[in-house]
Chain A
Amino acid sequence: MPDSNWLEGELSRQLAPVTAPQSLWDRIEAGGRSAHRRPSHAWVLWPVAAALALMALAGVWRIRSGTAEPDPFREQELVLLRTPVHGYDAHPANLQETRAWAKAEANIDIDTPSGEPAPDKGAVRLIGARMMNYRGLRVAAINYRAGDESATLFVSAKRAGLSGNTEISKHLFSQIASEGDQRIVSWNMRNQTYSIAWPGAKSSRGACLLCHASIPG
Chain B
Amino acid sequence: MVLQESERELIERCGRGDPDAFRALFEKYKDMVYSVALRYSGDAAVAQDIAQDTFLKLYSTIGSFRGDANFDSWLYRLVVNSCFDLKRKTRRLTPLVDEALSVLRTPDLSVLDEVLRSELSAHVRSVVDALAPDQRMVVVLRYTQGLSYDEIAAILGCAPGTIASRLNRAHKILARRLARLAGAGRKDNSRRKDHA
A interface list, Cβ under 8 A from B: 1-4, 6-8, 10-12, 14-21, 23-25, 27-28, 31-32, 34-36, 38, 163-168, 170-172, 189
With an 8 Å Cβ cutoff, the count of chain B residues facing the other chain is: 50
A20 touches B182 (CB 8 A): no
Q: B182's contact among A2, A15, A19, A165, by CB below 8 Å, is which?
A: A2
Q: In the docked arrangement, what's the CA distance between A14 and B30, Å?
A: 20
Residue in B18, B52, B143, B176 whose Cβ sees the most chain A Cβ within 10 Å? B52
A17 touches B35 (CB 8 A): yes
A-B contact pairs, 18 of them (CB 8 A): A1-B175, A2-B182, A2-B185, A4-B171, A7-B178, A11-B139, A15-B128, A18-B34, A18-B35, A18-B39, A27-B48, A28-B26, A28-B56, A32-B52, A32-B56, A166-B17, A166-B18, A189-B17
Asked, given contacts A2-B182, A38-B90, A171-B19, whether A20 binds B124 with beta carbons under 8 Å apart, the answer is no
B22 touches A20 (CB 8 A): no
A6 touches B60 (CB 8 A): no
B102 in contact (CB, < 8 A): no
- A residues in contact with B121, CB < 8 Å: 14
Q: In the docked arrangement, what's the CA distance between A49 and B179, Å?
A: 44
- B residues in contact with A16, CB < 8 Å: 144
B136-148: CB near A (< 8 Å → 1, else 0) gives 0001100111000
- B residues in contact with A165, CB < 8 Å: 17
B156 CB, min distance to chain A CBs, angstroms? 17
Q: In the docked arrangement, what's the CA distance between A189 and B18, Å?
A: 11
